[in-house]
A and B are shown apart, each in its own frame.
Chain A
Amino acid sequence: MKKYVCNVCGYVYDPSAGDPDNGIAPGTAFEDLPDDWTCPECGVGKDEFTAE
């Protein structure tokens, strides 16, 4: 599974770590994140992310 980088702030979404603070379990692929998931650092949407 690919890592994705936030274009705005540089946060890296690592699927193996997930985003447990926001209810995303480890092992969740970026593609499987809910549409309303936002960058935990800066708040932008999934469309502002690029595959690493």
Chain B
Amino acid sequence: MNETQVADRVNWVGYVDWSIRDFHGYETTRGSSYNAYLIQDEKNTLIDTVKGPYADDLLRNIQRHITLDKLDYIVCNHAEPDHSGALPVVMASCPQVELICDAKCKATLERYYDIRHWKIRVVKSGDSISIGAYSLQFLETPMAHWPESMATYLPECKLLFSMDAFGQHYATSGRFDDSVPLAVVLEEAKIYYANILMCYERPVNNALDAVKSLAPEILAPSHGIIWRTQVDKILSAYADWSVCKADRKVVILYDTMWQSTAKMAHTLYETVVDSGVQCKLISIRATHITDIVTECLDAAAIAVGSPTLNQTLMPQVAAALTYLMGLKPSGKSGFAFGSYGWGKGGPEAVNEYLEKMKFNILREPLKCQYAPDEQALAACREAGGLLVKAAELVG
């Protein structure tokens, strides 16, 4: 098998985006790929398309296998433009083609594109279409990632086109999990999960149950590498991530103006590390939000520090907490900390975010005026003990 062959008469025909570094705000340091797949059978079927600007690349890849007039079906599993953007060009270039999608997907595509002249067949969970030797089974997975998200199963190959689930923003010349270092692909899958799917716990769990009952041998997501030798590894990683399972790990996030909140953060950090618990000390202004939320995914306890600026928290802390709050990390413990000069503001505002995120709040905001003295640092060491205790509750 070559690097594009996923199964007998099933080929990857997508686009590897080596240069993308910003995916709607998600920092994609290793690039990405938009995966589309061509199944050659009595009815030639394309599974998804690519981002709009790469429509011609997709058409060229399809034509390595068939001429465009021979394409019978396109399955659209997800209307988000990174996968549907090339649809208008592909629909216009393939005279025979019929689009297959669920009802919500059709309604969403209609908002993005002029679909009046498209031949469309609406399917739902449990439907199956024979395409010759192979058949397509559809499995709606609402909210993993959008309401209309769907996965398509090719039972004869035990191959699941899983859409965004199990994907990674990872540009590689190899297409499979055995052609890249496992640690790297798992890291990218975790970053992807934290930034794209963390907020959809229940829908992801529903999708996982459905996937497990199919017992697929190949998972072909819409981004990154295809899982075929490490299917168990990614499924068990998803089982953990989908419940925000905590490690014995503490995360300390902070911003600082004149090093006071930084000193508090360092003192918390030392206390945690001295008691043998893993800890990440993260300067919010030096770290991309993509990495901040990834570190929070499997943290047991998270302390968030902000000095008081104009009677509220620092803007970058607000940005990071706004992003984290939308991703709804569940079951986290923590507290707010930070310095102030003459009025209230920073730590109190952080505490409000933690309350909204339903943190198990370990103590009232830990504060120091202007600069931490020995007494304030002693209070930090004591508060660090609460983080340690929360982490040690994890088995």
A interface residues with partner B (beta carbon < 8 Å): 8-11, 21, 41-42
Return chain A residues, CB-CB under 8 Å to B202: 11, 41
Q: Are B358 and A41 in contact (CB under 8 A)?
A: no
Shortest C-beta distance, B78 to chain A (Å), equals 14
Q: Which 10 interchain pairs have the tightest Cβ spacing?
A: A9-B143, A8-B147, A10-B142, A9-B142, A9-B147, A42-B143, A41-B202, A41-B143, A9-B203, A41-B203
- Interface SS of A by simple majority: loop
Chain A: CB-nearest residue to B147: A8
Shortest C-beta distance, B358 to chain A (Å), equals 7
B119-162 contacts to A, CB under 8 A, are: 142-143, 147
- Mark each residue of chain B from 369 to 385: 1 if its CB lies under 8 Å from any CB of chain A, else 0: 00000000000000000
Shortest C-beta distance, B243 to chain A (Å), equals 15
Q: CA A21 – CA B356 in complex, angstroms?
A: 10
- 8 of the cross-chain contacts (CB-CB < 8 Å) are A8-B104, A8-B147, A9-B142, A9-B143, A9-B147, A9-B203, A10-B143, A41-B202
B interface residues with partner A (beta carbon < 8 Å): 104, 142-143, 147, 200, 202-203, 206, 358
Interface centre among B142, B202, B203 (most CB of A within 10 A): B142
Q: Are A21 and B203 in contact (CB under 8 A)?
A: no
Shortest C-beta distance, A17 to chain B (Å), equals 13
Q: CA A36 – CA B193 in complex, angstroms?
A: 30
Q: CA A42 – CA B104 in complex, angstroms?
A: 15
Shortest C-beta distance, B108 to chain A (Å), equals 11
Q: CA A25 – CA B63 in complex, angstroms?
A: 59
Chain A: CB-nearest residue to B140: A10
Shortest C-beta distance, A32 to chain B (Å), equals 23
Q: CA A11 – CA B199 in complex, angstroms?
A: 14
Q: Are B147 and A42 in contact (CB under 8 A)?
A: yes
Known: A8-B143, A21-B358. 18 other contacts (CB 8 A): A8-B104, A8-B142, A8-B147, A9-B142, A9-B143, A9-B147, A9-B203, A10-B142, A10-B143, A10-B203, A10-B206, A11-B202, A41-B143, A41-B200, A41-B202, A41-B203, A42-B143, A42-B147
Q: CA A41 – CA B146 in complex, angstroms?
A: 11
Shortest C-beta distance, A41 to chain B (Å), equals 6
Return chain B residues, CB-CB under 8 Å to A11: 202
Shortest C-beta distance, B101 to chain A (Å), equals 16
Shortest C-beta distance, A50 to chain B (Å), equals 14
Q: CA A9 – CA B203 in complex, angstroms?
A: 8
Q: CA A12 – CA B394 in complex, angstroms?
A: 31
Q: CA A11 – CA B143 in complex, angstroms?
A: 10
